[in-house]
Chain A
C-alpha cells in the first residue's frame, strides 16, 4: 500500500474551519483515500473516503487534488468533540482492505 504523510499536530479554535492535509505522492490510479479519526479512549471511526472527486458527508468534506497526490479533510466548523487523531489511509482494491495506520494528525480544538 502507498504511504501517506500528515503533519503531526494541528490546532484550531472552536467553530472555525479546519483543513487537515495529507500527501500521498505514490498513490496508484485505483487507490481509495480513506480518513478515520480516533477520539480519546475510543476505537477509530470512519470519517469519509473518495477516489477522484471531492466528497461531502455530514461529518466533513474531502478535497482531492487533480493529480491525486494530495488530499485535504475539511471540518467546516470545528467543535470540541472533533479533537482527535486523524488518519489518512490509502486502500488498494483487490487486497484485504487492512488499514495501515500512520502516526496521523493530532487535532487540538480550543474553546
Chain B
C-alpha cells in the first residue's frame, strides 16, 4: 500500500520568506509526527498529533514554526520568516497508534529545505 508521502521533495527559499511543507500519512494512521534533520546533526522531534487531541508542540524550536492537521489526515508544517538555520530535511512519520509503546512509525522521504 501507499506509504507516507511528503511534498515538495525539495524547497529552496530566500531568507525571510514563509514556507509550507505537506505530509500525507498512511491512511488510517491516527498519530502523525514531524522531525527535522539538520546537516551533520541528528534527528530531532518537532510536533506530534494524535486524533483530535491537542498536539504536543514541545519540540518546535521557535514561534515561527507551526503545524496543523486537517481532518485527522494531511498535515502542514509552516515556517514563517525563514532563517538560514532552518535549512534541514523535514521528515514526517505516521503510526497506527494501536499498541502505544510498541507502535512502529513509518517515515516519509522528507522535504529538503534550503534557505538562502
Contacts and interface: CB of A to CB of B under 8 A. Distances in A.
Interface of A: 30-32, 34, 36, 38, 42-46, 49, 51, 91-104
Contact of B105 (A31, A93, A99): A99
Given A43-B91, A46-B106, A97 B45 contact: no
Contact of A42 (B4, B35, B102, B109): B109
A38 B105 CA distance: 13
A100 B48 CA distance: 13
Contacts of B59: 98
Contact of A100 (B4, B45, B95, B104): B45
Interface in B12-40: 31, 33, 35
Interface of B: 4, 31, 33, 35, 42-45, 48, 50, 56, 59, 91, 93, 95, 97, 100-110
A93 B100 CA distance: 6
Contacts of A100: 45
Nearest to A44: B107
21 contacts: A30-B101, A31-B101, A36-B105, A38-B43, A43-B110, A44-B93, A44-B107, A45-B107, A46-B105, A51-B102, A91-B101, A94-B100, A94-B101, A95-B101, A96-B50, A96-B56, A97-B31, A98-B33, A98-B45, A99-B45, A104-B42
A106 B31 CA distance: 29
A84 to B, nearest CB: 13
Contact of A49 (B97, B102, B108): B102
A101 B42 contact: yes
A38 B109 CA distance: 11
Contacts of B4: 43
B42 to A, nearest CB: 5
Given A46-B106, A96-B56, A32 B101 contact: yes
A30 B43 CA distance: 24
